[in-house]
Structure 1
């Protein structure tokens, strides 16, 4: 539905908005046009890339080169080893980066850019498979390619029909479609994605385990069940967790006492000095194993509205503790 001019804006402002909306329409149509045209050649391209023992070498000049860099990065981060090689540099030595076990993915709207077409015969002589993403299926690039993916558009969004706009959007979409189809075919999952993005938020959530961020050794507040209330408070205050574990003689976690439990005990008016840890502890504390994901600890805390959990081994022996602040420092949450 076409938006009406905004009477609160000047004529020039409305013209800008109209041009932007036209751009969206043209580029959306370009992408939807790809949807109608892909078929057997797309399937062949995916299968050919899956067979490659080396890397997908993406090439392109100018704006297509910028698109190519992004496609290479997307492929590499989703399970398909890839790199970008500049065609102009390739003819001056960088062709040595391309090995017979690799595959070249060449991008050019016209399919006639000199820096690219001049090296195509050399690539073919090496026996390297060539997939082309091009807007002209009768071009020199398409002629040399083993598989051609048609990324042609009716017109550019540029009012002069000159600046690569809709055509580069179509190239980008085709590259994304390849990457996603390959990702799916490889069974590439969230943990695989996290391994290639260890510095990102998803990587931290899927790669950080409780054992990586928990407090351990003397940093873990703990008292035996027979400890006096005064001993319990000294331990909790000195370790700064806002809680202390209560363990049996074998070191198994049997309870926990928190700041919240202290407030509730004070409200009862009981003589706390006469009580032991066993008298005031919360039985059946929430626990996790050290090999659990730190994200699981965050979910457990949120679910039960608690701020700390105890970490135990297979025998139930206390080996660590973790607070919501520890997770925040590790940027898990």
Structure 2
């Protein structure tokens, strides 16, 4: 199935046709940087008609693979904080319940030492969840794994055979990923056509068809129809020539003199330079924090930095920031993980 998003925040769930699993189900989502893999998946999780329970979401651009990583991440960040845990423990005697609680509280410190025990708890919890909900495991940027790591991952996944569970593999096909996931379903996020790009530009600036056509002709080859790449360039380059809602023709001479970036690194550098000092510090804080930041804390951070709250919808619209539900709370994070890594390493 092919999918594209004319609007990064467009609700794409009605276009998804992901089958309810009867057994372990592998789903491959392919898309290069900026095509919206995470957004695609987030929209599915938020809008699916099925009851879904995320047990694990690991980004292999940030971590090397190990079974203990997946198990400890799942237990510490998901299972230990879910309401299902209390019901799950009712299957055990009072003494066993207390022992399990104590062991869960000691994760991740003791996960490597007692990996088999924690893995079994993870498996049994997934089996328990599957009675009332679809357990979901998300493995992001698996193209970052080498052959040995990928095979170890596959061996670990085999533990869940027999459990109706969905595993999403998110991969950038432009890299060196050559492994066979043996997925039951595949989704390929495709680039915008030139007409879709023109529509995106017109809607983004709320401008005339003429202005949208001029920018499209000038930018399409450089953006390659990548929706987020286009959005970043619109905000950081063409936003200097065209105001939102402007219907008057833009300055074509200035546009022709504009040099558009060749790489994501150039785009990130331009975006970051256009932040003022306080804004740059906020994004640097988010990048080093890693995990999403609670909405209230983020707004308080902006207030302390004397950054107006109206910046939030602007950053969301530009694709610099994303609004997500994290452990049941409204949170913000840097939208693109590649941008986050670039800031962190700069």
- Do both proteins adopt the same fold according to a TM-score greater than 0.5, normalized to the shorter chain? no
When normalised by structure 2's length, the TM-score is 0.26
- Higher RCO by CA contacts (8 Å cutoff, separation 6 or greater): 2
Which is greater in Rg? Answer: 1
When normalised by structure 1's length, the TM-score is 0.26
